């Protein structure tokens, strides 16, 4: 098989190369390759590196990194070379034996073979075996095709007292409500398409992880969430705690949607919505999605570390703009403008108008046509009209 050596961050790695998996537009099509490597997920791997560096900066222990769906081990090798601990050890598995051959050769290429253990295995069995072998699992990265939900149970069981967990989901059709029945059977959640569907997807993913952790008596704290065209990534701190798991479960609930499709309130599980709802979306996570200190540390590390893509750092800056605004969901400015029959104003002007009215406002990384603000819809409409010169 013809190969080339590629680079991502500080890692070098062999990848098979053939014209048969180059698309017409000249780009690699990962699903046509004999082993999995997706160059468009470099930003996702950057986030794992920055998340782990931020976690380490918080004084948390990371002796081990577990990647049970490893492909050719680019992520694991990057963790060994690019995080802040010299004695971190990686455990990787993949169901595909060719991928594991590549893992081993790639570890040698980076002189990391003594710190990377890799094995052909089903991801669930691999994680449960780490638990029964009493390997201290301090961090886990679940990056499957589609939904990570099938791996929640074994991942949570494998971790020790406290761990860093990264989840990636690519089943965005289900999570954002396009395939409502799939969402219902997979996540046990009713998801209707809304203006802020991408955030709903992130909250359903977090909520389903919190539920799985809760019955295993683990408290989950979301640290960071990120949406990109083809995936949602969420980072968490997970800790063994019966009372903590109850506290986390108290931040599960529903979003109340009115006749116009706008979000009116968040209803914790068991509460009754005042004034009724036209539709209720959930159950999902209604708590904070970002830990401020953690995101600031990720940003610092994106500057301190030279292996990070500029777009990764830019994405974190964008999240910093919205993370402090106390508002669930966001407004799609184009949709509101079309209902008002006005042109879309410049976003900066609209944000200024909302701030002058006394609200917080920012763009949202979830949707480039979206705006996050604590203003009610009536005032968002007023601000749109004034910033497009109609009032
Ligand atoms: C999205 S890729 C992972 C990419 C990798 N984490 C990275 O950052 O490049 C998913 C991988 O999971 C593997 N896989 C699929 N089902 C599996 C299972 N049940 N157990 C272990 N690996 C599995 C596939 O062979 C594939 O390499």
Confidence class of residue 35 from pLDDT cuts 50, 70 and 90? confident
Asked whether residue 156 carries a pLDDT value surpassing 90, the answer given is: yes
Q: What is the mean pLDDT of residues 289-317?
A: 97
Asked whether residue 164 carries a pLDDT value surpassing 80, the answer given is: yes
Provide the pLDDT for residue 360: 97
- By percentage, how much of the chain surpasses pLDDT 90? 84
Whether 233 is in the pocket of ligand 1, judged by its Cβ within 6 Å, is: no
Whether 302 is in the pocket of ligand 1, judged by its Cβ within 6 Å, is: no
* Per-residue pLDDT reduced to its tens digit, 41-53: 999 999 999 999 9
The CA 346 to ligand 1 mean position distance, Å, reads 42
* Per-residue pLDDT reduced to its tens digit, 105-147: 999 999 999 999 999 999 999 999 999 999 999 999 999 999 9
Provide the pLDDT for residue 236: 98
Provide the pLDDT for residue 44: 98
Instruction: Calculate the average pLDDT of the chain.
Output: 94
Whether 144 is in the pocket of ligand 1, judged by its Cβ within 6 Å, is: yes
Whether 45 is in the pocket of ligand 1, judged by its Cβ within 6 Å, is: yes
The CA 118 to ligand 1 mean position distance, Å, reads 13
- By percentage, how much of the chain surpasses pLDDT 70? 99
Whether 95 is in the pocket of ligand 1, judged by its Cβ within 6 Å, is: yes
Greater pLDDT, 146 or 20: 146
Asked whether residue 391 carries a pLDDT value surpassing 70, the answer given is: no
Which atom, in ligand 1's list, is nearest to the CA of 72?
A: 9
Confidence class of residue 193 from pLDDT cuts 50, 70 and 90? confident
Whether 219 is in the pocket of ligand 1, judged by its Cβ within 6 Å, is: no
Whether 60 is in the pocket of ligand 1, judged by its Cβ within 6 Å, is: no
Provide the pLDDT for residue 273: 85
Whether 115 is in the pocket of ligand 1, judged by its Cβ within 6 Å, is: no
Whether 98 is in the pocket of ligand 1, judged by its Cβ within 6 Å, is: no
Provide the pLDDT for residue 390: 67
The CA 237 to ligand 1 mean position distance, Å, reads 23
Q: Which domains does the chain have, with CATH numbers?
A: 38-292 (3.40.50.150), 330-391 (3.30.56.70)
The CA 38 to ligand 1 mean position distance, Å, reads 11
Provide the pLDDT for residue 116: 98
Asked whether residue 389 carries a pLDDT value surpassing 80, the answer given is: no
Provide the pLDDT for residue 317: 97
* Per-residue pLDDT reduced to its tens digit, 48-90: 999 999 999 999 999 999 999 999 999 999 999 999 988 899 9
Q: Whose CA is nearest to atom 15 of ligand 1?
A: 95
Asked whether residue 290 carries a pLDDT value surpassing 90, the answer given is: yes
Whether 70 is in the pocket of ligand 1, judged by its Cβ within 6 Å, is: yes
Provide the pLDDT for residue 26: 79
Provide the pLDDT for residue 375: 95
Q: Whose CA is nearest to atom 8 of ligand 1?
A: 75
Asked whether residue 19 carries a pLDDT value surpassing 80, the answer given is: no
The 3-class secondary structure across the chain, one letter per residue, is CCEEEEEECCEEEEEECCHHHECCCCCECHHHCCCCCCHHHHHHHHHHHHHHHHHHHCCCCCCEEEECCCCCCHHHHHHHHHCCCCCCEEEEEECCHHHHHHHHHHHHHCCCCCCEEEEECCHHHHHHHHHHCCCCEEEEEECCCCCCHHHHHHHHHHEEEEEEEEEEECCHHHHCCCCHHHHHHHHCCECCCCCCHHHHHHHHHHHHHHHHHHHCCEEEEEEEEEEECCEEEEEEEEEECHHHHHHHHCCEEEEEECCCCCEEEEEECCCCCCCCCCEEEEEEECCCCCCHHHHHHHHHHHHHCCCCCHHHHHHHHHHHHHCCCCCCCCEEHHHHHHHHCCCCCCHHHHHHHHHHCCCCEEEECCEEEEEEECCCHHHHHHHHHHHCCCC
Ligand 1 pocket: which of 122, 145, 171 to mutate (most atoms <8 Å of CB)? 145
Whether 36 is in the pocket of ligand 1, judged by its Cβ within 6 Å, is: yes
Provide the pLDDT for residue 29: 81
Burial class of residue 63 in the structure, from the number of CB atoms within 10 Å of its CB (0-12 exposed, 13-18 middle, 19+ buried): middle
Whether 94 is in the pocket of ligand 1, judged by its Cβ within 6 Å, is: yes
Instruction: Record the pTM.
Output: 0.96
Q: Whose CA is nearest to atom 26 of ligand 1?
A: 71
Whether 222 is in the pocket of ligand 1, judged by its Cβ within 6 Å, is: no
Provide the pLDDT for residue 384: 96
Which atom, in ligand 1's list, is nearest to the CA of 168?
A: 1
Provide the pLDDT for residue 329: 94
Asked whether residue 235 carries a pLDDT value surpassing 80, the answer given is: yes
Ligand 1 pocket: which of 69, 73, 142 to mutate (most atoms <8 Å of CB)? 69
């Amino acid at each position: 098989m013809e190969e080339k050596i590629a680079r991502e961050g500080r890692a070098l790695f062999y990848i098979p190369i053939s014209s048969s998996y180059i698309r017409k537009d000249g780009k690699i099509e990962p699903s046509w390759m004999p082993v999995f490597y997706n160059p468009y997920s470099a930003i996702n791997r950057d986030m794992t590196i920055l998340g782990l560096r931020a976690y380490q900066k918080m004084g948390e222990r990371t002796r081990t990194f577990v990647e049970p769906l490893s492909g050719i081990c680019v992520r694991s090798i990057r963790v060994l070379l690019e995080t802040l601990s010299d004695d971190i050890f990686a455990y990787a598995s993949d169901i595909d034996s060719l991928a594991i051959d590549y893992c081993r050769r790639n570890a040698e290429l980076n002189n990391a073979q003594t710190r990377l253990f890799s094995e052909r295995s089903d991801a669930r069995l691999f994680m449960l075996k780490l638990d029964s072998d009493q390997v201290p699992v301090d961090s886990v990265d679940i990056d499957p095709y589609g939904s990570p939900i099938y791996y929640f149970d074994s991942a949570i069981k494998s971790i020790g007292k406290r761990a860093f967990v990264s989840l990636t989901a690519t089943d965005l059709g289900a999570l954002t409500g396009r395939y409502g029945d799939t969402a219902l059977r997979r996540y046990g959640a009713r998801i209707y398409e809304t203006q802020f569907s991408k955030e709903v997807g992130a909250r359903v993913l977090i909520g389903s992880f919190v539920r799985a952790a809760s019955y295993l008596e683990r408290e989950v704290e979301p640290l960071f969430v990120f949406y990109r065209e083809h995936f949602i990534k969420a980072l968490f701190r997970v800790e063994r705690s019966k009372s903590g798991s109850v506290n986390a479960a108290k931040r599960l609930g529903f979003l109340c949607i009115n006749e116009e499709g706008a979000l009116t309130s968040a209803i914790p599980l068991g509460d009754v919505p005042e004034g009724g709802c036209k539709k209720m979306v959930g159950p999902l996570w209604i708590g904070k999605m970002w830990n401020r200190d953690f995101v600031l540390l990720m940003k610092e590390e994106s500057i301190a570390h030279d292996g990070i893509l500029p777009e990764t750092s830019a994405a974190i800056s964008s999240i910093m703009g919205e993370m402090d605004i106390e508002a669930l969901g966001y407004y799609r400015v184009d949709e509101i403008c079309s209902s008002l029959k006005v042109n879309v104003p410049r976003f900066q002007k609209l944000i200024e108008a909302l701030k002058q009215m006394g609200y917080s406002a920012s763009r949202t990384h979830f949707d480039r046509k979206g705006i996050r603000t604590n203003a009610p819809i009536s005032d968002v409409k007023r601000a749109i009209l004034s910033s497009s010169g109609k009032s």
